[in-house]
Structures are given as structure tokens and as C-alpha cells.
Structure 1
Amino acid sequence: MRRLTVLGTSAAHPEAGRAASGFLLEHDGYRLALDLGYATFPRLLHHTPATGLDAVVITHEHPDHCADLSALARARYFTTPRPVRLPLYCPAGVVRRVQAMEPSEDLHDVFDIHPLPAHATVHRLGPLRLESAALPHHVPHAGVRLSAPGLTLAYSGDAGPGPALTRLAAGADLLIAGATLCGTQAHDPRLLSAAQAGTTARDAGAARLLLTHFWPGTDRSLPLAEARRTYGGDVTAAEEDMHLPL
């Protein structure tokens, strides 16, 4: 089975019935969590136990993308016997932020930590190749490209637009892109608008675009319409518990 499960779609903080940013990527039995923001961990447990993951990738240290890494760490820390350390790929700020919530449990006892972005380095995660690049945001941020034979997935996290993101998404089967800004909201080079997500998908030649990271209260038909004005391919608005075959 090769599929992407949406764990959460909200920017900044969860809404009722929704979680912040998070995804579960499954590739022929290999399970990877991609961001674990507020309220994503209980949703993750509907699909796999805490010990069922093979790796975690976190794009940056904002808690709407990493807060529930703490919950995952505690679940694995207190499992008896404790499982082997789980590979964790993330910027250094993620470890500092989450460790600050753990006065007695050391994250290094739970995770085998690898820094992102790794620039020219390609990491092997089971069947997947992980490539990363620094993207513009308010804090150090890693954009992500995951690939295997017949599959390429790119993820913008919460970053702004630019050539690095377009390169990461080049020829992708699926681009997961933030749609934080839409309508009359002010332009911010450190955040992605729905229209810019569409432009990036178009310029990168991505086959499909999945919009996520919606500001709480947003009518999601609006970012969908804006992305479709700049990109003629398949555009979908992410919803919690959505499954996308890959």
C-alpha cells in the first residue's frame, strides 16, 4: 500500500475537529510521519501505534508543526521494553523546542536525530530518498522531497515561495503546499499563498497539488479557487483523515 493520510491541516492552532499540520506517508509497509503539530498524535494512533513508525521528518520548530513530537516521544519512552531509537530528521531548533517540554526524559533516548536541511546530502529512509533544502520562513525551515521508484512527493511545510521550493517540487507526483495566505491578506515572503502554491506547482511541473495549512476560520473554497487560477492540474484541499493513494 502506498498512500498519504492527512492528520491535520490547520495553521497556527487547531480548530474544533481539526488538528495542526501533520501527515502519515505509507510506502509498502514503511511508515513515516511528516510534521506532528498540535493534536496530530491522537489521529496518528488511529492508523498506527506509536511503535509502528519507521521515521519522522519535521520541517521546523513552530509548535503547530512539532508539538506532538513530544507526545510521540513520551509514548515510546514509557513503552516496555523501550523500542529502538526512531530516526528523526529535523532542524536543530525542533529538538531544543520539544526538549524544553521534557524536564526528565531525554529525546536522544528515543530518537536517532539527523539535522535538516542537509543540502547536497541524500538520506535513505527505508525505500525512500529524503532530500531537503532551506526555505524562507520566520525560523530555520527545511523543505522536503521524498522519492522512490514511481513516486516523488514534495512538501513546503510552512515556508514561503522561491526557487528552492520549485526545485524540490520539480516533476513531483504530489506537491503538498501551504495555503496560509489568500484573498486580500498581506503578502509575506516567508509564507505561501494559495495562488503561489499553484504557481509553484505549475512551474515545477507537479502532477497534483494538495493544499494545506489553512488559517483558522478560512472558507477553504477560496484558496482552492485561487490555486486553480494559477495551476491547471489536479488541486485538492486537505481534510483531516483524508487518504490519498500514491
Structure 2
Amino acid sequence: MKIHVLGFWGTYPEAGEATTGFLLESGDERILLDCGSGVLAQLLHVCPVERLTGVVITHHHHDHNADLGVLAYALLQARLSGRRSVPLPMYMLPGPGGLMEELRREPLVRLHMLKPDESVSVGGVSFTFAPTQHPVPCLAVRAEAEGRVFAFSADSSLVPELLQVARGADLFVCEASMFDGQEKQAVQAGHLTARQAGQLAREAEAARLALTHYPHEGYLDKLIQQAETAYGRGVERLFTRQVLEV
């Protein structure tokens, strides 16, 4: 299983980059996990929309779903040009009515409303979910394929469900929106500090930890160092269009 890093910023993208988005590749499957601001442009560097086999959206904040509308437009163009005729399954929690109506209008979009305890298979990739603690309903994601496990925290403050999702993961990509000392702000905003991310990965016995959902203020090297102290080993920083082997 390969994870293509399309975006990793929280709140808004830095110039030329994107907020949250990952492309999971396993065999013939190409599954987009979250579709934040700038993600579609990054996706097109590595995968045309006619090759996508699934979309999973963790929650309906703009930094995780902003490009869903233009993804639907890209599918429209692929349909009209004859480049794609097979509907694309999209798995998500119920979202804003206008967005849901717009997605349903495109014949190549097949919407599936997720339940927190649901399991979903896209080809040979199996997904399970767990609710997180965030201002809007949000799901952490565990993807299993080829005997490997990829876990993604989505957005959340510190809750036991994250430990369940990350347990024994070969790679755990965990949000770290806050620095040590910002625990109070993290709880209020529904996010994690770097230390909390490291503690989660250690307790879950995750083989690897990478941080995501970076803040725009402060030094990212410091964020990594704080997570490493809690995790007890090296922590990975993400870069645009990086490919992570799981």
C-alpha cells in the first residue's frame, strides 16, 4: 500500500500547497482520503480522475472537503469527454444540504452516507471508522490492505477511539495542530498537541508516526521534536507529493 501526500496544512493551504488530502494506492485501487483546499490540483499530478476508484471524507470542514465541488466538475468533464463512464463511490457523513445536492446531480458521483460503526470495502481495501471529538461530526479512519494497516486520526482532541484506530498500525498519520503548552486550546478547538500525538502512537504501538494538519505559526521542526519525545523514536514530517510506503 502506498500513501501519496497531497496536502497536510490545517485551516488553509500555504502557497502552491494544499490542506488535508491523501491518495491511497493498493493494486488497482486509487482512493482519495479527504479533499481539502488545493487537493484536486495536487491529485492531478499523480492520478487523473478517471483512475479514482473511491473517495472517503472524514468530515465537512472546508480544509477537508473544499475541493469536493470541483472534483464533481472534473468528473462532469470526464463524463462528457468519454474518459469515464463508471460512477465513483464517495463515502462520507451527511454534509451541508447544498453540497450534497450538488454532488447528487452528477451521474458519476455515487454518494454513500457513512455511519460511525460501519465497515466499507473498496476493492481490496477495507475501511473501518471511529468517531472523534471535533466541533462537527468527524471519523478517524483505519485502512487495511495487503496485510498492512494505515491509520489516520482525522481531526480530534484526545479520545480513546483514536487509540482503537491506531492500534498496531504500520503507519499512523496523526494530526498535531498545537504545540506543547496549548492543551487547553487544543481541547476547545477539537485538536491534538504534538505530545499527545506521540503518546497516542506509543500507546497504540504504531510502527511509524507522521504528523499532519500543521499550524501556520511556530516552527514545524519543534512540533516534530515534541512528538518524538513522547513517541520515543523518530517522527516523520510530510511533504507535498511525498509517497509513503506502508
Query: Are the aligned partners of 1:153 and 1:173 in contact in 2 as well (CA < 8 Å)?
Result: yes
User: What is the aligned partner in structure 2 of residue 131 from structure 1?
Assistant: 128
Query: Are the aligned partners of 1:154 and 1:169 in contact in 2 as well (CA < 8 Å)?
Result: yes
Letter in 2 for 1:112: R
Aligned partners of 2:113 and 2:158: how far apart in 1? 22
Aligned partners of 1:68 and 1:132: how far apart in 2? 22
User: What is the aligned partner in structure 2 of residue 96 from structure 1?
Assistant: 97
User: What is the aligned partner in structure 1 of residue 230 from structure 2?
Assistant: 230
Letter in 1 for 2:173: I
For 1:30-109, list aligned pairs within 5 A. 30-79=29-78, 80=80, 81=82, 83-93=85-95, 96=97, 98-99=99-100, 102=102, 106-107=104-105, 109=107
Query: Are the aligned partners of 1:116 and 1:132 in contact in 2 as well (CA < 8 Å)?
Result: no
What is the CA RMSD across the aligned residues, in angstroms?
1.7
Matched, 1:212 2:209: no
Query: Are the aligned partners of 2:72 and 2:106 in contact in 1 as well (CA < 8 Å)?
Result: no
By percentage of residues, which structure has more helix?
2
Aligned partners of 2:183 and 2:205: how far apart in 1? 27
Aligned partners of 1:150 and 1:178: how far apart in 2? 24
Q: How far does residue 14 in structure 1 lie from its aligned partner after superposition?
A: 0.8
Aligned partners of 1:25 and 1:218: how far apart in 2? 30
Query: Are the aligned partners of 2:104 and 2:110 in contact in 1 as well (CA < 8 Å)?
Result: no
Aligned residue pairs, count: 240
Q: After alignment, is 193-202 or 75-84 more displaced?
A: 75-84
Aligned partners of 2:210 and 2:178: how far apart in 1? 15
For 1:110-129, list aligned pairs within 5 A. 110-119=108-117, 121-129=118-126
Question: Unaligned 5+ residue runs, structure 2?
Answer: none
Q: How far does residue 108 in structure 1 lie from its aligned partner after superposition?
A: 5.6
Identity of aligned residues (%): 36
For 1:164-179, list aligned pairs within 5 A. 164-179=161-176
Q: TM-score, normalised by structure 1?
A: 0.91
Question: Unaligned 5+ residue runs, structure 1?
Answer: none
Letter in 2 for 1:7: L
Q: How far does residue 147 in structure 1 lie from its aligned partner after superposition?
A: 0.4
Aligned partners of 2:126 and 2:212: how far apart in 1? 23
Query: Are the aligned partners of 1:14 and 1:216 in contact in 2 as well (CA < 8 Å)?
Result: no
